[in-house]
Amino acid sequence: MKKTLVSALTTALVVGAASTTFAAANPFSDVPADHWAYDAVSQLAADGVIEGYGDATFQGDKNITRYEMAQMVAKAMAKKDVSATDKAMIDKLAAEFSDELNNLGVRVANLEKNADMVKWNGEMRYRYYSDRKDGQPKENKDLLRFRLNPTAEVNSNWAVHARLDADMNMKNDDTSTSTAKLKRVYAEGKYDNFDIRLGKMGLFSDESEGMTLDDEFSGARVQFGNVLKTTLEAGRWSGIKSDEDKAANYQGIAFTGDEGKLSAGAAYRHFTSDAIKGFTKYSKDSNEDTANVWSVGLGYRFDSNWKLGGAYAQNTEADDFDKAYNVELAYKGAQNENAGTWGAYAAYRYLGENTAFAPTYDTYSNIANKKGWEVGAEYVPFKNIHTYASYFDGKDLANSDIKTKTLFGRVSFFF
């Protein structure tokens, strides 16, 4: 938690004005340097339960007060979707600092609410693509993206989220050609195990992990459940547009859950658009105007380092290139907040273009409709600086004699 002069003065004034209330416990006494709470809060920060935690919080012999620790615990207690391990850790911390939470809880909540009504985070990202396909010129791209993600609190249950992306092609070194878009803007209401979103938002991610779609749609989403979650979506998707520039009608449902080391998911998506008609690679009779995509996925985590995952999807309305599947073995994983962390993976992907409409894989790039092997690695050299590289080597699905290769690299600076 980064402490500013303003927040420090505000806290001092509030605490000073109510000194008699704090008689039961001294919030200004230091938490000893060897106290187990430091490790507990560090672990919660690493797990993403406590936001805004930084290395400046604990430095050498500079201990924090019980009041400051109570603030961290209060933030952790406000989180809803946490693991059983983190929940047990939070409960233990709450018991340890129960006096401070009881005496300061209301005031801490009010201070945090006033200070955090609007939060900003973002990313600057550089991407490099090199696509090669037999019989076609090599295509290279240097892209720069600046992204902002504001979140505004409406009340205790509702918030407004947005995403703004500005992209620039670095080859021409001309900012006049850059594009800025409002990619997402939606209101979200959270009520225990029930979540509702309204506006333009990201499509749900099932266990197939974006194999079919990693994009935004406009409409509504409802999600409910605990161990087994059900997600319902309906609206319009601009990835398929008619001649009148109308987006496709879209409805989707997904079931996802995890138990122990096992995770699984199943989904169904339905699209309707006149744009589908006449696409000879899609429907032989050229009269089909719908897409029905089913997908299932399964993941198994052997331990804290190794995970094996796989997914299969099929478009029952397409005549050609109507399926997609993916098998991936991942080792470790990089955490942006922890310098020195890294991860790697190897995967086999089969991506039929009439099912994998807009997959999340960067090596998909400008060359669609392909199958082959992919390897990748990620590394965090410094806190909040993430590097990633991947390489795909495969063949074109329409003609297996045509080879296709893609090299991709990315460096992201998060703030």
More confident residue, 334 or 115: 334
User: Residue 78 and residue 144: Cα distance in Å, rounded?
Assistant: 36
**pLDDT value, residue 105:** 54
User: Residue 391 and residue 377: Cα distance in Å, rounded?
Assistant: 10
Per-residue pLDDT at 371 exceeds 50: yes
Percent of the chain with pLDDT over 90: 47
Amino acid at 182: L
Select the highest-mean-pLDDT range: 31-40, 143-152, 239-248, 286-295: 143-152
Q: Are 218 and 199 in contact (CB under 8 A)?
A: yes
Q: Are residues 108 and 202 in the same domain?
A: no
Query: In terms of residue numbers, what domain contains 217?
Result: 118-414
- Tell how far CA 26 is from the center of its chain: 40
Give the end of a domain, one of 58, 84, 115.
115
Per-residue pLDDT at 21 exceeds 50: no
**pLDDT value, residue 117:** 76
Q: Are 264 and 258 in contact (CB under 8 A)?
A: yes
Which range is least confidently modeled, 57-71, 72-86, 211-225, 359-373? 57-71
Average pLDDT over residues 225-245: 87
pTM: 0.71
Give the end of a domain, one of 115, 137, 159.
115
Q: Are residues 88 and 132 in the same domain?
A: no
Q: Are residues 264 and 178 in the same domain?
A: yes
Average pLDDT over residues 385-399: 95
CATH of the domain at 283: 2.40.160.10
Band of residue 3 on the pLDDT scale cut at 50, 70, 90: very low
Q: How many domains does the structure of the chain reveal?
A: 2
**pLDDT value, residue 24:** 40
Q: Are residues 134 and 75 in the same domain?
A: no
Give the end of a domain, one of 115, 147, 163.
115
Average pLDDT over residues 143-147: 94
More confident residue, 273 or 108: 273
Q: Are residues 174 and 202 in the same domain?
A: yes
**pLDDT value, residue 55:** 43
User: Which residue bears the tokens 């990313």?
Assistant: 123
